[in-house]
Amino acid sequence: MSTAASISPVPFYLDLAQVGLLVVALGFAAYRFRARFLPGWTGAPGRLVEVVTGFGTLILLAELTGLLGLFRPWVLLPAALLIALLAWLRLSPAGESGGSVPPVPPLGRLPEVIALIVAAVVTAEWGTFASYSLDHGITNFDSVWYHLPFAADMFQSGSVTGFHHTETVFINWFYPQNAEIIQAVGIVFTGNDFLSVFINFSWLAVALLAGWCIGRPYGRPHLTLLAAAVLLVAHTMLVREPGTAKNDIAAVALVLSTVAVLINRGAAARDGVGRISPGWAVAVAGLAIGMAAGTKVTALAPAMLISFAVLVAARRGTRLLTAAVWFGAGFLGGAWWYIRNLAATGNPIPQVESIGPLALPGPERLQTGRPDFNVFHYITDFDIWNEYFFPGLERGFGVLWPLLLFVAVAGAAALVFRGPGRLTRAHGAAALVAISAYLVTPLGAAGPEGAPSAFAINLRFLVPALVMAAVLVPLLPVFTKRWAATALILVLVALLLTGGRTEALYSLAGWRFGLVVAILFVGLPGTVWLFRFRISEAVGGRSPLAWTGLALIAVSLLVAFPLARSYFDNRYADFEPEYGLAAPYRWANDTSDSKIGLAGTTAGFRQYGFFGEDLSNEVTYIGRETPKGGFNAIPDCSGFRRAVNDARLDYLVTSPFLNFDDPGKPIRSPERRWLRGDPALSPVVGPGPVEVWRVDGPLSLRGCHGVKPEKEFIPGLADPDRMP
């Protein structure tokens, strides 16, 4: 066993310098793009356009290099620098863009103060929960199951064309992976996952910026920011997104960015309030919604409905060209993953097996984790509502969840009739239909028939549609009145305080870290922004924001290495001992450049730790590929032993089958019995439910003589009697 090298300061800071140079290069290119094509978009809307353009360029660059198997730092960084050079040489700033500039009503100091306080509270809560990952490693279930393994596979292969099979129960290798490719960029430049702890904070910042921008042309940015914050700290988001590789926050941020750019464009004077025409703003919004669809399948419903709103609001005579600009940009933002699926299976979304009576092509699936019922399946079952849905809604959105749903649904409905312009009215209708689409979303009420135990967890599928509705509500004309705006602030603050985990700011172990993050990255720059003119006068006209930014960068670099060293000292030191994974994870964390096979879905669903600290271990789940991109369990001893031999492993991990209905009671998986007594295997970690074996040579097929398949040899098999 080789030991992963500990990090040292010089390589660590050189890696960070490369990441910083990449960000600066693409940021500069995005700035030049905005200055050339949307010169009148300054302030917050301008920054949002630049952020969307920067992320879109990074994703496209990563995909293009990955298509060629060149997803490597020595290709990515020069390519980004070349893009910046071309932007400098070819994209000179233009003059004012006239009527396409969104209005900027004057704001008093109070809205800015409210926004600053709200952003600080949200950031402090996120920082509090993210500190757990810094202390223990990223332990979130979905992150170690597939988000980070997908990113690690891109890092190892340099490609985005392959499918990394995580286990044999679900087919999540067909999921769109825009968020994972961003994670992979950080890993490619550093060779580890330290930056992965912080990437979701960038999406949080985008979501907050977009929330502010939505209300900006109507003089109510603090209200729309507050509405967005309510969902960003909802329990269903807060306990899973900070410090992890989850992608729900990325989808939410991109949906909000789409709405924000469109609302600002629709508020401009050129085509009349609420109308749009083809242009660069529509292209940027299309890019954002394409990236959202390329992040999560559940973002497809909001994407399609926002597309409807765009076409409805397009100025007469321009709909065809508007559609071309919109869908063309969206294609660039998210189409690759669906094209890859289509080529492999004949179906861009293989999870969808049929549309009504029409069967769609897709892979064969022998194993199942739990039924994928939707909420509509139980819509009239009041026992289910009382036992699962009502408690789940309270857990996900707080005790005032009925008020949240009322504000979102009733507000969106009111917008359909009273929204300022056709675009906003169409957005209100789109939000209502998107909320309704959640009811038929697969896995929304996952679990055994009559026991939808995953309902509360999967409320995150509702968040993109719900936040889209919530942020539009303050645009209703009634909120131009002070009393109405004050009442809405009180309602939203109540939802913010009861829907999140504000007690975490003083009760959880990471509250100090959360407080420091909020003060440094929200409180300090926000205060400088509020008093920028006075500070500028006091320091002789110098820009206080620039100096503040430089100071924050310096502080971040100063604390980065001690944080990273502490992170890697504690990474996966005691991961889920109740499932027997603590010792195997500790072993893998210090193992490098080895080929590790996994058997049994407990190891498959929690596979990321086996990649090792430096992510150099090649992790393979032992199964068999089937037509149309399928990957199934191996049903017999000899077939399994052949697969192990073909994989040419250094180590093999055996584990039980993960019982989704009762994780504390895993189901016996037969692979351990099939391997019993083979002289080519030597125990490394064990005995226990999860064991590690060194593979010293080929397994003997003679060891399978007399070993018959058990009826339950593939837990979840639809028809055990049809086993080969």
Provide the residue ranges of all domains of the chain, joining segments of one domain with +. Answer: 199-512, 531-570, 577-722
- What pTM, to 2 d.p., does this model score? 0.94
Residue 621's DSSP bridge partners are 598
692-700 mean pLDDT: 95
Say whether pLDDT at 724 is over 80.
no
Of 508, 623, 694, which is closest to residue 131 (Cα–Cα)?
Answer: 508
Handedness of CA 573, 132, 23, 172 (dihedral sign): positive
- Least confident residue range of 81-95, 322-336, 592-606: 81-95
Other beta carbons less than 10 A from residue 409's beta carbon: 18
Of 103, 37, 27, 44, which is closest to residue 278 (Cα–Cα)?
Answer: 37
Of 20, 10, 55, 11, which is closest to residue 192 (Cα–Cα)?
Answer: 11
Say whether pLDDT at 478 is over 80.
yes
Other beta carbons less than 10 A from residue 21's beta carbon: 15
Q: 618-621 and 595-599: which strand pairing?
A: parallel
Specify the residue for token string 């209100």: 428
Confidence of residue 713 (pLDDT cuts 50, 70, 90): low
Handedness of CA 711, 716, 722, 723 (dihedral sign): negative
Q: Which two tokens stand for residue 618?
A: 């090649």
- Least confident residue range of 398-407, 536-545, 647-656: 536-545
Question: Would you put residue 275 in left (φ > 0), alpha (ψ -120 to 50) or beta?
Answer: beta
On the question of a cis peptide bond just before residue 221, with omega within 30 degrees of 0, the verdict is no
Stated as kind and residue range, the H or E segment containing 631 is strand 630-632
Q: Which two tokens stand for residue 116?
A: 């600053």
Handedness of CA 238, 243, 249, 253 (dihedral sign): positive
What's the confidence (pLDDT) of residue 711? 54
**Burial classification of residue 248, based on how many CB atoms lie within 10 Å of its CB (0-12 exposed, 13-18 middle, 19 or more buried):** buried
Tens of pLDDT along 136-172?
999 999 999 999 999 999 999 999 999 999 999 889 9
Question: Would you put residue 562 in left (φ > 0), alpha (ψ -120 to 50) or beta?
Answer: alpha
Confidence of residue 721 (pLDDT cuts 50, 70, 90): very low
Name the phi and psi angles at 692, rounded to 5.
-115, 135
Tens of pLDDT along 558-575?
999 999 999 999 999 999
Residue 523: helix, strand or coil by DSSP? helix
Tens of pLDDT along 363-380?
876 666 667 789 999 999
Residue 595's DSSP bridge partners are 618
4-21 mean pLDDT: 88
Three-class HEC string of 300-327:
HHHHHHHHHHHHHHECCCCHHHHHHHHH
Say whether pLDDT at 220 is over 90.
yes
Q: Are 228 and 218 in contact (CB under 8 A)?
A: no
| The residue type at 332 | L
Question: CA–CA distance from 560 to each of 2, 194, 234 (Å)?
Answer: 27, 10, 29
Tens of pLDDT along 40-89?
999 999 999 999 999 999 999 999 999 999 999 999 999 999 999 999 99
